[in-house]
Each structure stands twice: as structure tokens, then as C-alpha cells.
Structure 1
Amino acid sequence: MSKRDNICEYAIIESALVCPMKITNKLIESSINVSYGLINKKWFSKLQFKSLKIKEELFDKYYIDSSNITKDILFTSAVFVVIACLSVFALDKLGVISILSKDTILNISKEPTQQEKKSEEKTNQDTKDSFLDNSKDDKKKSVEKSKPAPVPVNNSSIELSANKDGSNVTIIAKLKEQGYSQGKCLLIITVNGKKYSQEAEIIYQPEYSTCAGFSVPVSSVGNGSWDISLSVTPINGKSINKKMIKDI
């Protein structure tokens, strides 16, 4: 390898900076090709030595500066961390913030005694027993509610009334037992040998059930003493009769 190649391999000095010759290799090579014959060998040796010396000085300076910057960054970071920890600790002591609640600290530092453990077990057992008792009561009530109401067998639970309203007579039947939840009603009116009949479904209501309304035109049987007969047949039961007399 010639000394010209050595010069190109290391560096050149330009504006007090050392630049790698990979970028400026072609420029130097072309310049050397033109003027190589006019340059003596000692000059090249001095230039090469001077270049290497400057390069070494710049590297040492960069390494020292980098080390100092790294140390400064580490020191500054450590100072910030210490200040942050002290600030949080001070705020916690002043009551501005709470890192751990007092209850949590007490729970961590204090183990439950045997008496406290027994008391907790008793409380848990009482809660469990109460829950089971309530479940049994609810189940019992549910079974009682699911049982069908007894079917009525006499007319004491039937209340019958008739009121004239213009040209019609409204007949109302109140069925005062739960067993009248479903079924049919048959109304028969007899006046002076004339007969009128009408059917309706039983309508269930919480207070009392009723037949689905009877409105009878007066003209259907005429005025006079109405013989009103109501026959109520609850579901799964027998027919129950109720009678009354009403002057219209």
C-alpha cells in the first residue's frame, strides 16, 4: 500500500474538523493524481502524523465530555428522585394525600386475636342460618300461594243487586271468595210469564270477583216485579244459585 493510499485511509483536516475519507476519497485521489509528482515524501509523512495526532486529541476530548455529561445526567436524575420522594412523604404527613389508609396500616401490622376470630366465625354462621331460615319461609309461602283457593259451595259469598238506569236495568254480582277466580255466570229474569237470559264470564279482581256485567233492557220483559236468578259456576266446582226480587 502506497503512502498516498494511507493518506486517503485516515483523514483530512478541513475547518478544524476530522472527516472520514470514505466521503472525500475521490476528491483527494483526483487531486493527488494531478500534483503527486510535485509533493515530496517527507511532507506526506508530516501531514499524516499531524492528522493522526489531531484525530486522537479530538477523540479524547469527545470521550471526556461524554463521560462528564453522563455523570451530570445521573446526578440530576438522582436529585429529582430524592426530591420527589421527600415531597410525597411530606404531603402524606401533612394529610394532603394518603398513600396507605390508617385502617390498612393497622390491618397489616395487627393480626386478629383468637376471640376476634371466634366472633367472626359466629357472625358468619348466624348470617348463614338466617339466610337458610328466610329461604325456607319464602319457599313455604310460595307453596301456600301456589295452592288453589277452595271452591265455594254456598251462596253466602254472592252479593246480588239491581238498579234501573233509564231504559236499562244494571245487575251487579259480587263474588267474595278467591275460588271464584274463573268460571261462568248465567242470569235468568222472569216477569209475568216472560223470561230473559244472559251469560257472562267471571272476571277476577283482588278485592272480589264479578260477572262481566249485565245490562238488561226494560223492554225485554216489561215493567213489574222482576224475579232475578243468578247461577254462578266456578271452575272445578258446582253451580251456586242466588235469587232476588226487584220492582221495576
Structure 2
Amino acid sequence: MVINTRRTLLKKTGLLGIGLLAHQLPLASNQCLLTPQQTEGPFYPLQFPQDQNNDLTLIEGHSQPAKGEMIMIKGRVLIDGCQPIKGAKVEIWQACTSGRYNHDYDGNPAPLDPNFQYWGYGTTDDDGQYSFITVKPGSYPVTRDWQRPPHIHFKVTAPTLSPLITQLYFSEETELNQKDRILGRVPPQKKELVITQLIFDNSLKKRVGQFNIILGQSLANNVTPEIV
């Protein structure tokens, strides 16, 4: 059996979970607005991986990490009014660096990455903080004239609140973001709430994007209708 030394170290030091956040995350003034809900899409897992955690780049028993650029996504889950939510479950799922999902419904001929986890989850701490280590996903074609930009799906579940399903995009993908039919259905004044800028962190040796997620009492009537 291959010993995954990096993951073992992370577990011992507490860095695999919320401990990756070294300080209280700041809130920009516009991040107390409700996060817009978007479509779940067809690729939510039918079966969940045996390895279930918030590091999608390493799979227990594998000697090789996932392909592509390793990034961190971190933030806080809050109720409108900017109060933190403890114990919220945050799930993500996404394509690998080639733009393919590990899903029976994905007909993309791009190669799968056997060392990428594709789905993961974490639980927020007392300050509502969460974090994930993953890879920047690739884009993929939907139709001849529609290429989806790199994005990560999020599902947030918290006690007594309606679940939120949304998608996170990257500011550097300007052209694809502007043409995307899913992101295009988000109200213009709220698009920046679901777009993150990846900034290199010298201490982590990777780029980091922040995504604060604001839940409301009910989001059931604010869903983008596209199913992609």
C-alpha cells in the first residue's frame, strides 16, 4: 500500500481541514449580499468517491497527485446580515484539468484523471470558514457555439435554511465568462459575487481564491433554469 505522506502530514498538523485558514477572512462590503443560486447541472455525483474530504488533489493510496494547477478556494458561509454559520456542509464538484467530469452522463472525449477526486466536502468552523484544495478545472464544449468557462459547483446545506446550489467562476476567464449562458442569467449587479480572482500565496506556493457564500431564508425562487 502506498503511503500518502503529504496527506498524512496534513492530517497530523490539522491543515487538511479548516486549519488551512491562518487568519480570519475579511469581508468585502459587497459580500453581505445573498449569493445567487445557479443550476446544479447534470454532473452531481451518482456515486461518491471512497476518499471524502476537502483535498481533491490527492486520493488515498495513490502515489501521484492530480494533474493541472493546484489551487485553494476558501471563504466563509454566512447568513444575510453577515453572521457566520457553524457546521454548514459545503460540497464541491467539478471537471478535472482536461474539462471532463467523472460522470456517466459526460460524453466529453477528453481524458479522465484517475488521481483527481472530482467531488469533496468540508464543514464550516465556528467562524463559518471552509477551504478546499483542488485544481483549476478546464473548460468544455456544450454546443458548437458554447464553451463553458472553468467553474466549480457548490452546494451548501445548513440547519433550518434552504440549501444553496451555485457555481464559482474565475476572473481571468473574461471571454468565456462573458459568453456563458449560465453566468449570463445571474443579475449583472450580482455576477461579481460568483467570480473569484486567483492570487498567488507565497506561503502556500499556490494561487488562492476567496468565495464567501451568503445564505438567505429561502432561495427556491431564484434558480437559473439552464441544466448544463
TM-score (norm: length of structure 1): 0.25
TM-score (norm: length of structure 2): 0.27
Q: Which has the higher contact order (CA 8 A, sep 6+)?
A: 2
Mark the structure with the bigger radius of gyration.
1
| Bigger share in helix | 1
